[in-house]
Amino acid sequence: CLPPGPWPLPFLGNVLQMDQKGLLKSFQALREKYGDVFTIYLGSRPAVILWWYEAMKEALVDQAEAFSGRGHIAIIDPVFQGTGVVFANGKSWKVLRRFSVTIMKDFGMGKRSIEERIKEEAQCLVEELQKSQGAYLDPHFLFNAITANIICSIVFRERFNYQDPRLLQLLHLLNEIFIILCSFYTQMFEIFPGILKHFPGTHTRLYSMIEEVKDFITENMERHQKMLDPSGPKDFIDSFLLRMDKERLDPESEFHQKNLVHTVLSLFFAGTETSSSTLCFGFLLLLKNPGVLEKVQAEIDRVIGAHRLPTLEDRAKMPYTDAVIHEIQRFSDLVPVGVPHSVIKDTHFRGYYLPKGITVYPVLSSALQDPRHFEKPNTFYPGHFLDAQGNFRKPEVFIPFSMGKRLCLGESLARSELFLFLTTLLQNFSLGSPKAPEDIDLTPRENGLGRPPPLFQVRFLPRR
């Protein structure tokens, strides 16, 4: 039988048990009643919820293959229809994932590495912030621009100026899309897709914005097609087009235009707002905790100094900064209920029976906020990642990128971005806030599949 859970109403499922404050709150309340593995009905569809690191590891790692499917997200399913690396399943996902991982790795060898690209972007950002002359600004836009530019550089081999209207429009769309995907509306759509899809609403706006991003990608792809040099693919799209050409006679090939556009779209969705939201939370937390900021800057001055660019090699010599970045990720808890999985075959788990295709939510938040592993789970406390001697240590329950076969494909990219952007900015600027630390509010703008940070103002004052 399925794991226990509240009795569902016909068609409506467990709508009465859903908390306005979001999926995590709803799951938290049910977990107290039904235990660490329970079932909830989102409309007429059952979903299994995994709470605590132990349950997630037993599923995603110990039974990795069985739990490697991607689950449904009702509002987004009609867009991807099982294509593109995030939402594909089966052979299609395996091929696209292997291809994407290889391309990202290749950029580290021989060609201009990802580290080089991030460093260059960090310098552009420093120049841009110098122009602000210490005025208060909302950093969200610029953080979005730098993370989007890294994806643009990988897929299109070009970055955009921060004033370029094409970049501005792309960022506007990605931001709006992210906010909708994190909203309460998206959670309601999960429960009532059959009804809501027949009426115009937020989802209609969402689809038209996604179409615009797709048009932008398609135009770029067509430009690449015209200039393609078979002897030297220069970016993700070139490499994909060459594989398309190589396999053009294979009717089973996964390398077709739809998978190309949807994989690039997935990289924008998965790799832009996630990293930039973490940076926003990071700066908010540093403004709220000036003592921590001071210690990070002291470490930067000691290890890197003022006259050279930070590099990834510095990280191993900077345990405090590393601990702060981990604590920023832990505390900001960006993807609290994980991205839904599904089981790809009938599966036995902890004495229950999970039929093939059932959705599974690994509640990442339950690991990141676990009081058995983090002394002060609800406090921003870099000490969570330091031992008594001040060395960096990482508890195994630190899983903001999830685990198992669907582990975030951009983990290493995201970690490099967080380290290089944060250290470069703090090497060059001191920070100012219009609010006193105790008045800085950390409440996210939404609390659904993601937790977008609140809007805030900060100023960057040159340190030298």
Instruction: List interacting residues with ligand HEM (CB under 6 A).
Output: 70, 85-86, 97, 266-267, 270-271, 274-275, 278, 334-335, 338-339, 341, 400-402, 406, 408-410, 413-414
The structure tokens listed for 243 are 């594989």
Phi-psi region of 420 (alpha: psi -120 to 50; beta: other; left: phi over 0): alpha
Cβ-closest position to ligand HEM: 410
> Could you tell me the smallest distance in angstroms from the CB atom of residue 153 to ligand HEM?
12
> Could you tell me the smallest distance in angstroms from the CB atom of residue 84 to ligand HEM?
9
CB nearer to ligand HEM: give 410 or 452: 410
3-state SS class at 30: helix
> Could you tell me the smallest distance in angstroms from the CB atom of residue 420 to ligand HEM?
13
Taking alpha carbons only, the member of 196, 200, 198, 176 closest to residue 187 is 196
**CA dihedral over 102, 103, 104, 109, signed as positive or negative:** positive
CB nearer to ligand HEM: give 45 or 341: 341
CA distance 76 to 449: 12
CB nearer to ligand HEM: give 80 or 189: 80
> Could you tell me the smallest distance in angstroms from the CB atom of residue 155 to ligand HEM?
10
CB nearer to ligand HEM: give 310 or 338: 338
CB nearer to ligand HEM: give 75 or 196: 75
> Could you tell me the smallest distance in angstroms from the CB atom of residue 71 to ligand HEM?
9
Tokens 């990141």 sit on residue: 368
> Could you tell me the smallest distance in angstroms from the CB atom of residue 322 to ligand HEM?
15
The torsion of the CA quartet 363, 279, 306, 387, rounded to 10 degrees, works out to -20
CA distance 98 to 135: 45
CA distance 228 to 26: 51
> Could you tell me the smallest distance in angstroms from the CB atom of residue 405 to ligand HEM?
7
CB nearer to ligand HEM: give 354 or 414: 414
Tokens 């076969």 sit on residue: 405
- Helical H runs in 182-289? 184-191, 193-196, 202-227, 236-246, 257-271, 273-288
CB nearer to ligand HEM: give 334 or 426: 334
